[in-house]
Amino acid sequence: MVKIRKKSLLGASKHSAYLIIVFFLAIFIGVGYSFLNSSLSLGGVTKISKNTWNVHFENINVKEGSITDGSATISEDTAIVNFQVPLKQPGEYYEFSVDVKNSGTIDAKINSIINSSLTEAQQQYLEYTVNYENGQEIKQGDILKANESSKIVIKVKYRDDITESNLPTEDQNLNLTFNINYVQAD
C-alpha cells in the first residue's frame, strides 16, 4: 500500500505543478498585456468668435460736370443703388461714385456679376460703365477685406462722337443693371 500512495502523491505533485505553472503563466500574460496596452485620449476647449456679415453701399457722390437733373439713391436696406438719368443731348453724362463697404468681420469675395449689357444699337449712342475708382474692371473673385471699402464709379453718357445717322429716332428708356453677388472669401 505504501507504493500506491507514493504514486498518487507523485501524481498530485505533477498536477499541482501544472496548476502553479498555469497560474504564473496567466499572471505573466496579464502583466505582459498591460504593458502592451495603451489608452490615449484627447480633450480640449474651443471658442468660436462672434462674426458678422455686412456688405452694403454707402456714400454716393455725383461727379462735377454731370447733368443736374439726374439722381442716385441708396435703398433703405443699403443693398441697392437706384439712379435715374435723363440724357437729352450728345455729350451729356451722369457719373457718380458709391462705396461698397464691408462692415462685417468676414472677408467678402465677388462670386458673380450680372451686367445688363447694351445692345449693339444702344452702344452707338450710349456709354455705360461700372468700374473701380482706379478704372480697373470689377471681376469675379475680387476680395473686399473685413472693415474695408472699395469705391466704384458708374457712368452713363450720351456719346458725343455720335453721327447723325446713329441718333435714336425716338426716346429710349433703358433699364441698366449691374448686380454684384458677394460671398464669404475662402
Tell me what percent of the residues of the chain surpass a pLDDT of 90.
60
Residue 75 lies in a domain: yes
Question: CB-hemisphere CA count at 13 Å for 19?
Answer: 6
Pairing state of beta strands 93-102 and 55-62? antiparallel
The pTM assigned to this predicted structure is: 0.74
Q: Does 156 lie in the same domain as 90?
A: yes
Q: Are 116 and 179 in contact (CB under 8 A)?
A: no
Residue 153 lies in a domain: yes
More confident residue, 168 or 9: 168
Give tens-digit pLDDT for 136-149: 999 999 999 999 99
Q: Does 14 lie in the same domain as 101?
A: no
Count up the domains in the chain and report the number: 2
Question: Amino acid identity of 39?
Answer: S
The β-bridge partners of 129 are: 155
Question: Amino acid identity of 118?
Answer: L
Q: Does 170 lie in the same domain as 117?
A: yes
Q: Does 179 lie in the same domain as 113?
A: yes
Q: Does 178 lie in the same domain as 149?
A: yes
Give tens-digit pLDDT for 37-53: 677 888 999 998 899 99
Give tens-digit pLDDT for 66-113: 999 999 999 999 999 999 999 999 999 999 999 999 999 999 999 999
Distance CA 22, CA 27 (A): 9
Q: Does 35 lie in the same domain as 71?
A: no
- Determine the structural domain holding residue 6 and report its residue range: 1-44
